[in-house]
Amino acid sequence: MNTESCTTELDHPALDVESIRREFPILDQTVNGHPLVYLDNAASSQKPRAVIDAICRYYEHDNANVHRGIHELSNRASTAYEAGRKRAAQFINAKHTSEIVFTRGTTEGINLVAQAWGTRHLRKGDKILLTEMEHHSNIVPWQLLAERVGAEIQYLPVNDDRGLLDLSRLDEWLTSDVKVFAFTHISNSLGTVNPAAEFCKRARSLGIITVVDAAQSAGHGPLDVQELDCDFLAFSGHKMCGPTGIGVLYGRQELLEATPPYQGGGDMIATVDYHKSTWNKVPHKFEAGTPHISGVVGLHAAMDYLDRIGRNRIARYDHELGAHAYEELARLKGIRLFGPHIGRAGLVSFLMTDVHAHDLVTVADQRGFALRGGHHCNQPLMKKLGVESTARASFYFYNTHQEIDRTIEVLKEIQNFFTR
Ligand code: C6P
């Protein structure tokens, strides 16, 4: 964390949610005749004015292609793009700015690691360890790799109805034939917060490479890759107040250097001949073609914004909202709740007896509530839990306890309607 954010957090211990809400223009509207209650933040967060303005400003004043021209606008665009990289490195406390690769999001980051690093470093018989709570984005890229090189995928089990990984059996799974351990920091379906630093430590002691899916944790609390001691970590800008189509892959310098390019094209090369090319240095080697410059500008503004609010405070408030929602839901009859009872992230997944999750979400939408119903790209986990889908409410620091209370009231109405 930078010093500016620490000072701000100490100065203002509690979040002023009402004034924060005024900085998100989209929140001030009615949907289907009701005030919008946006509780689909795990899918994508809303954007504050500061981010929207930064993107507009970039297009109004500085827009050009990067790293190519020697004219003023191109220089400005290049400066803004590389300033975004420096800011991202600071945001997650990477040792080197060159350890930051811009991607389209978490999905592309994990695909890059599996495809480029994995194809070079894994071979037949090697094991890939995942967990049973992974998003499809942290399963399918590894399946593609396993098929390509003949590796085998294993899954660390989710041990019981509390949605926790079975840590007592970690040693059974982290064996010397495991080459890579890829896991989610926070589960998007269960709200489980995994002990990422402990996982990385245990993996490191066996020389196993770690890949952290930080889609649900980046922007929801402090994130320090040196403290985690992970090898790779991926996140998406759009889930943390930034624009869509931009994300970050962090990779330890020496690993990125030992990884071949992911895609070929402009910018990622040093020289090109008709028959042979050589690669640009890390991280540019992984950024083929014109990048999402305005996305980086918006992400930069989002990171500044989040640090102004204070990531420790965001984490605390997120947990408070998650706990409040869980407790209130637990009071209702006929509700099945998923995930840990305590220590959960700011989201709740649940089912209502005799009401399909899609019906619940559709009726809630008619009242202005944006919830999500479905498998949340966790089909294997849903199967394990014996359900097809869940309803989910996921929070961010602009949500309020009153919104949760109103959600509970609407859920009661829905329950009465479907069970009368
Ligand atoms: N989860 C959700 O509603 P992208 O699409 O690349 O920005 O993020 C993919 C992703 C990867 N890992 C986890 C843990 C995620 O939660 C997500 C996105 C959304 O839960 C869409 S399914």
- pLDDT, one tens digit per residue, over 30-69 is 999 999 999 999 999 999 999 999 999 999 999 999 987 7
Q: Give residue for tokens 């770690």.
A: 210
To test the pocket of ligand 1, the residue of 377, 390, 394 to mutate (highest count of ligand atoms within 8 Å of its CB) is 377
**Same domain, yes or no: 324 and 182:** no
Same domain, 262 and 134: yes
* Pairwise CA distance, residues 173 & 165, whole Å: 12
- Classify residue 122: in a domain, yes or no: yes
What is the number of the ligand 1 atom nearest to the C-alpha of 105? Answer: 6
Domain membership of residue 80 (yes or no) is yes
Bridge partners, 336 (sequence order): 351
> Does some domain include residue 11?
no
**Average predicted confidence (pLDDT) for the chain:** 95
Residues 283 and 319 in one domain: no
Same domain, 178 and 78: yes
User: Is residue 14 a part of any domain in this protein?
Assistant: no
Question: Rounded mean pLDDT of 183-205?
Answer: 97
Estimate to the nearest angstrom the gap between the alpha carbon of 292 and the chain centroid. 18
C-beta 377 within 6 A of ligand 1: yes
Residue 35 lies in a domain: no
Ligand 1 center from residue 8 Cα (angstroms): 30
Question: What is the count of structural domains for the chain?
Answer: 2
- In a domain, residue 17? The reply is no
CB of 259 shorter than 6 A to ligand 1 = no
pLDDT given for residue 169 in this prediction? 84
**96/118 same-domain check:** yes
What angle (nearest 5°) sits at the alpha carbon of residue 108, between those of residues 103 and 113?
Answer: 100
106 in ligand 1 pocket by Cβ < 6 Å?
A: yes
Q: What is the 368 CA–ligand 1 centroid distance (Å)?
A: 23
Q: Which of 163, 185, 165 is nearest to 240 (CA)?
A: 185
Q: How many residues does the chain have?
A: 420
Is the predicted pLDDT of residue 353 greater than 90, yes or no?
yes
Q: Is the dihedral of CA 397, 398, 404, 407 positive or negative?
A: negative
Q: Is 213 touching ligand 1 by the criterion CB < 6 Å?
A: yes
Look at ligand 1, atom 1, and give the residue with the nearest C-alpha: 43
What is the residue range of 356's domain? 310-419
The share of the chain scoring above pLDDT 90, in percent, equals 92
Residue 403 belongs to some domain of the structure: yes
Q: How far is the CA of 215 from the centre of ligand 1 (A)?
A: 6
**Does residue 11 carry a pLDDT above 80?**
no
Beta carbon of 42 within 6 Å of any ligand 1 atom:
yes
Listed residues 307, 335, 356: the one ending a domain? 307
Query: If you average pLDDT over residues 63-81, what whole number do you get?
Result: 94
Q: Are residues 274 and 357 in the same domain?
A: no
Least confident segment among 13-22, 74-83, 114-123, 225-234: 13-22
Instruction: Answer with the one of 307, 322, 350 that is the final residue of a domain.
Output: 307
Rounded CA-CA distance 354/269 in Å is: 58
**Amino acid identity, position 336:** R
Distance between CA 181 and CA 199 in Å, rounded?
Answer: 9
Average pLDDT over residues 347-364: 96
Reported confidence tier of residue 142, pLDDT bands at 50, 70, 90: very high
Domain boundary among 272, 307, 342: 307
> Which pLDDT score is estimated for 78?
97
Report pLDDT digits (tens) over 289-335: 999 999 999 999 999 999 999 999 999 999 999 999 999 999 999 99
- Give yes or no for residue 7 having a pLDDT over 70: no
Residues 302 and 372 in one domain: no
Q: Secondary structure of the chain in the HEC alphabet?
A: CCHHHHHHHHHCCCCCHHHHHHCCHHHCCEECCEECEECECCCCCCCCHHHHHHHHHHHHHHCCCCCCCCCHHHHHHHHHHHHHHHHHHHHCCCCCHHHEEEECCHHHHHHHHHHHHHHHHCCCCCEEEEECCCCHHHCHHHHHHHHHHCCEEEEECECCCCCCECHHHHHHHCCCCEEEEEEECECCCCCCECCHHHHHHHHHHCCCEEEEECCCCCCCCCCCHHHHCCCEEEEEHHHCCCCCCCEEEEECHHHHHCCCCCCCCCCCEEEECCCCEEECCCCHHHCCCCCCHHHHHHHHHHHHHHHHHCHHHHHHHHHHHHHHHHHHHHHCCCEEEECCCCCCCCEEEEEECCECHHHHHHHHHHCCEECEEECCCCHHHHHHHCCCCEEEEECCCCCCHHHHHHHHHHHHHHHHHHHC
> What pLDDT does residue 220 have?
98
Q: Closest ligand 1 atom to the C-alpha of 238?
A: 7
Per-residue pLDDT band for 9 (boundaries 50, 70, 90) equals low
- Mean pLDDT lowest among 140-154, 157-171, 192-206, 351-365: 157-171
Could you tell me the CATH number of the domain that includes residue 352? 3.90.1150.10
Residues known to be catalytic: 377
**Poorest-confidence range of 154-163, 202-211, 221-230, 266-275?**
154-163
Query: What is residue 161's predicted lDDT score, i.e. its pLDDT?
Result: 74
- The pTM score is 0.96
Distance from the CA of 415 to the center of ligand 1, in angstroms?
29
- Kindly report the backbone phi and psi dihedral angles of residue 72, in degrees, each rounded to the nearest multiple of 5, phi listed first: -55, -50
Query: What's 225's domain CATH number?
Result: 3.40.640.10
Residue 173: the pLDDT is: 94
Whether 321 and 299 share a structural domain = no
Across the range 216-245, mean pLDDT stands at 98
- What's the pLDDT at 157? 95
* pLDDT (average), residues 117-138: 98
pLDDT in tens, 243-259: 999 999 999 999 999 99
What pLDDT, in 10s, does the model give residues 374-420? 999 999 999 999 999 999 999 999 999 999 999 999 999 999 988 87
Do residues 347 and 378 make contact, with C-beta atoms less than 8 angstroms apart?
Answer: no
The answer to whether residues 132 and 222 belong to one domain is: yes
Measured in Å, residue 330 CA sits from the centre of ligand 1 at: 26
Inside any domain, residue 16: no
Q: Are residues 140 and 238 in the same domain?
A: yes
Query: Same domain for 265 and 351?
Result: no
Which amino acid is present at 230? C
Looking from the CA of residue 247, the nearest atom of ligand 1 is 7
297 shares its domain with 324:
no
